[in-house]
Structure 1
């Protein structure tokens, strides 16, 4: 067999082998097309139309161009709900990332020789496995006017009458932020642990030999080398924060009480979809997409820096 024939045989084997890769990709491609790409294109298409139901009368679909976007951008409520979403995300994310960094650095430090690490890792991750709706229902029962939290505070003499947690702006926002913190700090801890364990241990040993203190090691070695994972955590958390829906929806029964102070952008979008206003709902979805993309780019530019 000459070299030309050998190359043809080898090429044929590669082609026959590679086809299985394409075959395994078919389920993903079909799922993506049916459940993501087609709905996304349909949403963008509907955003340019007036299409809603007024009582029993169907209005549209009538092409209105960018009128839906102009209405949203000129609506002060949209910017108020964006502010609410940002406040509740920041209130939950800052303690989440600080505690996750502390626990990740603690759990991944082999010199401490901590016992029961597997148990503690499982325990901190368990809240992430609970459905957000169940979590919100639990907190709604705990912090209701006649709930156990008020009963404990009254019996301890801290308060003389039940405190209406759901009737005050910052207590409601605090509960939403606290629930998001509890549900996600374990997942963040696991991600940061993976990043720390990927750092060369020789760097830590060299720093220890040079007499560097733990705080110096953490700030000058761990944090700089952990930057890619931190960027990923911040951006994914930001995306999840903008899409915040189930916790405030259930905790406030969809009202965003008090005085819409806990109403998020997705809750506002849900109201348009519930009323079958597909034009405004589509425009709101596209607007959310652009807000998410812009904020993600800003976070990436701020947290990353060029290296020589």
Structure 2
């Protein structure tokens, strides 16, 4: 018995050995920067012209300044609005495509081709995507030319000067870039549902709509919650699309300025104390919103 136990112990060592690269990378590139960011958030450390101020320990003053003097609430609302504008059509489109592709009764042809096509936008860099849309929707761009030619507008419409159009473009781009990834995840969840459940529901006389809402959606809930939480985290970290589309200004009137764009301005001005405090607040906010999602989605769990 003792010999068998020693053999198992020696075998288990290989698991720890293979974990070493991950542990080294995690500690070096995630844990240490996280601790450093939290540490810097308690210091006054910025550039005033050519003069460096700090680092001077000031406690929670950076946090108090962000919460009382800054436009943190406004930028949070901007971020959430643009995330919702992208996520709602994205999840609807992904659910629809997933239901179509996984329905054996439809027998759709060329599924592999269409699955590849819908995932391609996710492979395009957000910077390239933003530059493309900036060119397409500029005052002299092809979209304005087409709309004028068909009589929708009499003169070019400045998409970048209106709140609704800028936010709508950001949401539309996020939807296009991520609906393919969401579709693949939801399809994986739907394909894991046993066919016997669908057959039993059909025998009981359930309609396709009832099968989807009463069978598919409840069993798809773990994947759906995962998609919702990861999309929420990605939405809070939204940066590249609005940054490039508005040239970093968040115009019009900073209504498209996101939390990470606000953080980037502090980093650009080398205000590391405020940037650290904002990063910590963003971490807390992400954890709080994710906990709310888990709490709400767990309400109908069987007790």
* TM value normalised by structure 1: 0.96
1:201 offset after TM fit, Å? Answer: 1.0
- Structure 1 residue 9: Cα displacement: 2.6
> Cα RMSD over matched residues?
0.9
Does the 8 Å CA contact 1:46/1:282 hold for their aligned counterparts? yes
- Return the match for 2:142 from 128, 140, 148: 148
Q: What SS does structure 2 have at the residue aligned with 1:151?
A: helix
CA distance in 1, matches of 2:95, 2:213: 11
| Contact 1:227–1:304, Cα closer than 8 Å, also in 2 | no
CA contact (8 A) 1:140 1:251 kept: yes
Residue of structure 1 equivalent to 2:60? 66
Aligned to 2:266: 272
Give distance in 1, aligned partners of 2:132 and 2:7. Answer: 59
Q: Would you say 1:97 and 2:100 are equivalent positions?
A: no
Aligned to 2:302: 307
Secondary structure, counterpart of 2:71 in structure 1: helix
Structure 2 matches for 1:163-202, cutoff 5 A? Answer: 163-202=157-196
Cross-structure match for 1:3: none
Matched, 1:126 2:120: yes
Cα separation, 2, equivalents of 1:63 and 1:282: 13
Gaps of 5+ in 2: none
Match runs of 1:16-31 below 5 Å: 16-31=10-25
User: In structure 2, what is the equivalent of residue 235 of structure 1?
Assistant: 229
| 1:255 and 2:263 correspond | no
Residue ranges of structure 1 left out of the alignment (5+ in a row): 1-6
Question: How many angstroms does 1:76 deviate by?
Answer: 4.7
Deviation at residue 12 of structure 1 after TM alignment: 2.6
Q: Deviations over 1:129-177 (max 9, x none)?
A: 1111110011011111111111111111211111100010110000000
Runs of 4+ in structure 1 deviating by more than 6 angstroms, as ranges, are none
TM-score by length of 2: 0.98
Match of 2:42 in 1: 48
Given that residues 188 and 233 in structure 1 are in contact (C-alpha distance below 8 angstroms), is that contact kept between their aligned partners in structure 2? yes
Structure 1 window deviating more from structure 2 (9-18 vs 92-101): it is 9-18
Q: Do the aligned partners of 1:231 and 1:304 also contact (CA within 8 Å) in 2?
A: no
Deviation at 1:65, TM superposition (A): 0.3
In structure 1, the residue corresponding to 2:213 is in which secondary structure?
helix
Distance 2:212 2:244 in 1: 40
Q: Give 1:94 shift.
A: 0.6
> Within the alignment, does 1:281 sit opposite 2:300 as a pair?
no
- Tell me the distance in 2 between the aligned counterparts of 1:65 and 1:279: 10
CA distance in 1, matches of 2:51, 2:3: 68
In structure 2, distance between residues paired with 1:244 and 1:164: 23
Counterpart Cα distance in 1 of 2:48 and 2:2: 67
